[in-house]
Amino acid sequence: MKRKVLWLAALASLAALAIVAPLAAAPAAPGAAAPAAMPPEAIKWVFLSAAIVTGVAAVGAAIAVAIVGSAAMGAVAEKPETAGRALLFVGLAEGIAIYGLIIAIMMLGRLP
């Protein structure tokens, strides 16, 4: 199960990178011609991609928090002084959703 989750997370990361890499290209020089307007068909795909990235990141964060949270609570039950570390690990797992949201905002920010 853990390997399956890791492969799913790696695949989602690669998909997000493949979507964002062209969008993160350097802007044109100030004297260069303005880029052509984006067709409406392309705009709908950007919206769809942003929604998919956000959704997959949220599902990945939920899976991570479920696994890390249960392990953290088990550790705190055995050794109460580890509560601070456990909370930190749960917060790191929740960061996955924030990364997905940032990628979606970057994608939507490139729209005309």
pLDDT of residue 112: 73
Q: Above 90 in pLDDT, residue 42?
A: no
Mean pLDDT of 30-46: 73
Number of neighbours of residue 63 by Cβ within 10 angstroms = 16
Instruction: Provide the whole-model pTM.
Output: 0.63
pLDDT of residue 34: 56
Per the CB < 8 A criterion, the answer to whether 38 and 111 are in contact is yes
User: Smallest Cα–Cα separation from 49: which of 26, 27, 17, 11?
Assistant: 17
Its CATH architecture, for the domain 2-21+39-109, is Up-down Bundle (1.20)
| pLDDT confidence band for 41 (50 / 70 / 90) | confident
CA distance 97 to 87: 17
Domain map (residue ranges) of the chain: 2-21+39-109
CA distance 103 to 90: 21
Number of neighbours of residue 57 by Cβ within 10 angstroms = 24
| Segment 59-103, tens digit of pLDDT | 999 999 999 999 999 999 999 999 999 999 999 988 989 999 999
CA distance 80 to 74: 10
